[in-house]
């Protein structure tokens, strides 16, 4: 696949569904744009930054197309187009190196997009540097991060598909991190903090790996993160952790392991709620939201949200679970007026 550079605009126009056009046919078509998209993928040689992407979908037959990008981020949910019709959708994407977890491999520079769906048909694509985009930074652990491989997925990996042009997700969550290690690793907080601009949101969900962190230290670390965001002019949002799938015999979740009480007896969600109240920080109580959902599905039904069957893992989520939890976060962002309602994609 040949790469190309763009200063302001990169455009590719495809006459038929991308996935149906073989490489040799592209060369014969005379459309230079087709040379940059092949076999369901497009690559744009752009420097790190924030970009608006506009896709035109549809073809002669009825189609249904989704877009993912970079490190398996869901950028556009599956979108239907009737036969012979075109639909246009736009979203804003954060491009950086590393493109996935901050401590992970650098991977491919530039912007990589993948075209999927049950009947994909990409009729055109345009990429422009975003001028006034608002960022939602994510500070978290493996339950939030851009997971590199199936069947794992963090909820932060699924959140971008629910945001329209003008708001992007910069997911700086990283596997295995606690409040202690996130603050201490120069690839993490020291890298994220200078990037925060006035008006940006910073969602903080760190608890799963604070297994040996005492309450005073945990509280102080959360306060340090809150203060650092505010010093940059950003808006901190504290997020209680997603539950682990550990049931009591009566069908409720275990008050310790499932609800994130560590070996020292530190009730992480309770401390987060207390810090949010004391410091006047918006709170997304994802512990309460995910607890309600998991318990409503029951012992068997909730397995699909996690990797119980695939890996005997009741902490990390499947794509289905991460998507369900991203929807909970999306709804809270709207309910708490943290993002304008018009920038959120519903359904």
Q: Which of 175, 170, 176, 177 is nearest to 156 (CA)?
A: 170
Cα torsion 176, 179, 183, 188: sign: positive
Residue located via tokens 């401390």: 271
Are 20 and 128 a contacting pair, CB within 8 Å? no
DSSP state letter for 99: S
Q: What is the DSSP string of 259-320?
A: TTB-TT--BHHHHHHHHHHHHT--EE-HHHHHHHHHHHHHHHHGGGGEEHHHHSEEEEE-HH
Are 102 and 174 a contacting pair, CB within 8 Å? yes
Predicted pLDDT at 50: 97
Alpha helix segments (H runs only) across the chain: 23-29, 155-158, 179-184, 189-192, 215-231, 268-279, 286-301, 308-311, 319-335
Per the DSSP assignment, residues forming a β-bridge with 80 are 64
Per DSSP bridges, beta strands 167-171 and 134-140 are parallel
Q: Which of 159, 110, 157 is nearest to 5 (CA)?
A: 110
Chosen CATH of 134-343 out of 3.40.50.1110, 3.30.70.1350, 3.20.20.100, 3.40.47.10: 3.40.50.1110
Are 133 and 99 a contacting pair, CB within 8 Å? no
**Is 9-129 a domain of CATH 2.60.120?**
yes
- Residue ranges matching CATH 2.60.120 in the chain: 9-129
Predicted pLDDT at 258: 96
Predicted pLDDT at 347: 67
Tokens at residue 19, please?
């996935």
- List the beta strands (DSSP E) in 37-86: 37-38, 41-44, 49-57, 63-69, 73-81
Beta carbons within 8 Å of 279's beta carbon, 6+ residues apart: 223, 226
* Integer Cα distance of 328 and 318 in angstroms: 15
Are 146 and 101 a contacting pair, CB within 8 Å? yes
Tokens at residue 72, please?
């398996």
Alpha-carbon radius of gyration of the chain: 21
Q: Taking the chain (347 residues) in consecutive chunks of 10 residues, what is each chunk's mean pLDDT?
A: 34 39 29 65 94 95 97 97 96 95 90 96 93 95 97 98 97 98 98 97 98 98 98 98 97 94 96 98 98 98 98 97 98 96 87
- Residue ranges matching CATH 3.40.50.1110 in the chain: 134-343
* Integer Cα distance of 327 and 314 in angstroms: 20
Are 285 and 122 a contacting pair, CB within 8 Å? no
Q: What is the DSSP string of 204-218?
A: EE--TT-TT--HHHH
């Amino acid at each position: 696949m040949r790469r190309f550079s763009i200063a302001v605009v990169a455009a590719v126009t495809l006459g038929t569904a991308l996935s149906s056009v073989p490489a040799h046919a592209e060369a014969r078509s005379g459309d230079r744009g087709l040379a940059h998209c092949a076999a369901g993928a497009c690559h744009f040689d752009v420097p790190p930054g924030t970009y608006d992407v506009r896709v035109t979908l549809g073809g002669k037959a009825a189609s249904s197309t989704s877009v993912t990008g970079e490190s398996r981020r869901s950028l556009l949910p599956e979108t239907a187009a009737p036969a012979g019709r075109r639909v246009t959708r736009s979203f804003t994407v954060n491009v950086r190196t590393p493109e996935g977890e901050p401590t992970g491999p650098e991977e491919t520079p530039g912007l990589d997009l993948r075209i999927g769906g049950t009947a994909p048909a990409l009729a055109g694509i345009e990429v422009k540097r975003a001028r006034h985009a608002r960022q939602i930074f994510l500070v978290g652990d493996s339950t939030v991060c851009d997971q590199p491989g199936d069947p794992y997925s963090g909820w932060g990996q699924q959140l971008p598909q629910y945001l329209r042009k003008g708001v992007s997700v910069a997911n700086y969550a990283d596997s295995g991190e606690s409040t202690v290690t996130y603050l201490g690793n120069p690839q993490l907080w020291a890298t994220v903090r200078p990037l925060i601009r006035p008006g940006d949101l910073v969602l903080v969900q760190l608890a799963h790996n604070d297994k040996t962190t005492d309450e005073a230290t945990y509280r102080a670390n959360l306060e340090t993160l809150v203060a650092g965001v505010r010093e940059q002019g950003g808006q901190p949002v504290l997020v209680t952790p997603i539950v682990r799938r550990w049931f009591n015999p009566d069908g409720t979740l275990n008050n310790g392991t499932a609800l994130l009480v560590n070996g020292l007896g530190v009730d992480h969600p309770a401390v987060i709620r207390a810090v949010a109240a004391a410091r006047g920080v918006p709170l997304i109580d994802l512990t309460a939201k995910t607890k309600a959902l998991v318990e409503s599905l029951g012992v068997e039904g909730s397995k699909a949200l996690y990797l119980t069957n695939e890996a005997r893992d009741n902490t990390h989520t499947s794509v289905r679970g991460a998507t369900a939890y991203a929807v909970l976060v999306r709804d809270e962002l709207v309910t708490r007026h943290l993002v304008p309602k018009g920038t959120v994609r519903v359904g």
